[in-house]
């Protein structure tokens, strides 16, 4: 989760691995929104979060949410997938990513599920490098994952604890001497030798290893395999190294910054032992990104003159910035406050561009009686750009909650 000024209102990333990917379930998810996405949208939309983008690859799922009033400042949104299972054929392992420019700063979120088992540490690194090489984004200054100003890398990375036997590991966990395990953690060991990991930061592992548990319990594996506990589930971040100026760790947060003024602070990094539906325990973290706005004007400014209390009031006016490439397929949606995603509109009207529009400073669209909701309530207008595949303008937050009272008989 990324937030500003103590409010969690910028972005939320939800990253899942080993989601049910049986053939019948995958076919259902193609025809309809997958159930995990629906659950997350239902939980977050009442708080003003809107799904920005999502990417699914078999059992892997990446969801990115933002408060609706930030949507016009999230641009260049793209996703990628890379399969590494069975030599690149199967998508049970690999990576899914989403990238975007946030107020002019490029950010990439990379969710990975790397190979399992103690002996496959080298294979994990090879797969990670393969994912980085294959994931390229079109038409962006930051074409590769590591070209972005900030990268968040997370998932079931599957790194294990080497050398120490089961009794030593469990004793360290039971006696809260986790630091004695850190130097034998494969990912920590790789940071000293793998150049691809240069610049990646991770907060201290002050929570117990998150794998492997007996499902439905807080007990580590008691099966015949008796898997050794490990920190398989991780969250790391990286700033572009050419601009990096500092990295300091403190008791309260982990900090790193860029000469451009970008700063990443990690406020906590924890597991959630209360969840017992998996043999893994989920891991979460909250970050603050601080940076100067490179982009502080929306591409489209939408406004209404007053509350819509009559059908004749239903006029939306808008202005576009110079050189904004409009499309005949652009539209303005009328959204109920608490909408889930850009297609979750009550109604919409086309924002078609006429030849005479080139000379106008201000444009408008009119919602007809048939296009207005039958019940009153608080609504938001959003301008959807077909070229950019995203909402590029919303009604100002002070006037966003446009009350509609439909008096049609």
The predicted-structure confidence for 235-287, as pLDDT tens digits, reads as follows 999 998 654 444 444 444 455 655 456 889 999 999 999 999 999 999 999 99
Q: What angle do CA 247, 252, 257 make, to 5 degrees?
A: 25
Pairing label, strands 2-4, 283-290: parallel
Pairing label, strands 200-201, 90-102: unpaired
Distance between CA atoms of residues 357 and 83, nearest Å = 46
* DSSP 8-state code for residue 126: H
Do the beta carbons of residue 326 and residue 306 sit within 8 Å?
no
Q: Which helix (H) or strand (E) holds 113?
A: strand 105-113
* DSSP 8-state code for residue 279: S
* pLDDT at 333 > cutoff 90: yes
Nearest to 281 by CA among 373, 209, 368: 209
* Residues ≥6 apart with Cβ < 8 Å to 274: none
Do the beta carbons of residue 334 and residue 383 sit within 8 Å?
no
Do the beta carbons of residue 209 and residue 218 sit within 8 Å?
no
pLDDT at site 27: 43
* pLDDT at 400 > cutoff 50: no
Q: Range with the lowest mean pLDDT among 90-99, 149-158, 189-198? A: 90-99
Tokens matching residue 224 = 């015949």
pLDDT at site 195: 95
The model carries a pTM of: 0.89
Out of 1-5, 144-148, 223-227, the most confident range is 144-148
pLDDT tens for each residue of 340-394: 999 999 999 999 877 666 677 899 999 999 999 888 888 999 999 999 999 999 9
Nearest to 16 by CA among 64, 50, 79, 76: 64
Confidence of residue 139 (pLDDT cuts 50, 70, 90): confident
- Report in angstroms the alpha-carbon separations of 225 from 184, 202, 220, 333: 21, 30, 11, 55
pLDDT at site 318: 95
pLDDT at site 376: 80
Q: Which residues pair with 354 in a beta bridge?
A: none
Q: Which helix (H) or strand (E) holds 185?
A: none
């Amino acid at each position: 989760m990324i937030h500003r000024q103590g409010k969690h209102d910028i972005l939320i990333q939800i990253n899942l691995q080993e989601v049910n990917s049986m053939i019948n379930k995958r076919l259902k998810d193609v025809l309809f929104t997958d159930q995990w996405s629906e659950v997350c949208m239902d939980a977050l939309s009442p708080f003003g979060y809107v799904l920005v983008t999502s990417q699914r690859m078999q059992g892997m799922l990446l969801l990115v949410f933002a408060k609706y009033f930030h949507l016009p400042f999230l641009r260049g949104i793209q996703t990628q997938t890379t399969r590494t299972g069975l030599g690149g054929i199967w998508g049970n392992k690999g990576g899914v990513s989403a990238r975007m420019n946030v107020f002019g700063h490029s950010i990439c979120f990379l969710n990975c599920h790397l190979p399992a088992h103690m002996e496959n540490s080298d294979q994990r690194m090879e797969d990670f490098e393969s994912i980085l090489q294959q994931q390229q984004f079109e038409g962006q200054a930051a074409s590769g994952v590591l070209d972005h100003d900030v990268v968040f890398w997370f998932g079931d990375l599957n790194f294990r604890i080497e050398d120490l036997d089961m009794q030593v590991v469990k004793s360290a966990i039971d006696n809260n001497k986790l630091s004695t395990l850190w130097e034998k953690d494969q990912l920590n060991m790789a940071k000293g030798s793998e150049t691809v990991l240069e610049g990646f930061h991770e907060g201290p592992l002050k929570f117990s290893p998150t794998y492997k548990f007996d499902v439905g319990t807080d007990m580590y594996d008691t099966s015949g395999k008796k898997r050794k506990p490990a920190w398989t589930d991780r969250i790391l971040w990286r700033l572009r190294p050419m601009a990096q100026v500092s990295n300091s760790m403190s008791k309260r947060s982990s900090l790193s910054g860029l000469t451009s003024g970008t700063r990443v602070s990690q406020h906590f990094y924890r597991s959630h032992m209360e969840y017992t539906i998996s043999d893994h325990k989920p891991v979460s973290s909250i970050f603050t990104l601080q940076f100067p706005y490179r982009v502080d004007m929306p591409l489209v400014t939408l406004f209404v003159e007053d509350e819509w209390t009559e059908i004749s009031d239903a006029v939306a006016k808008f202005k576009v910035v110079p050189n904004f490439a409009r499309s005949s397929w652009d539209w303005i949606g009328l959204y109920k406050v608490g909408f889930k995603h850009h297609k979750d509109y009550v109604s919409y009207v086309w924002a078609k561009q006429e030849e005479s529009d080139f000379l106008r400073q201000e444009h408008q669209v009119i919602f007809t009686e048939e296009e207005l909701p039958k019940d009153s309530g608080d609504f938001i207008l959003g301008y959807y750009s077909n070229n950019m595949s995203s909402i590029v303008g919303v009604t100002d937050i002070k006037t966003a909650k446009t009350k509609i009272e439909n008096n049609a008989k």
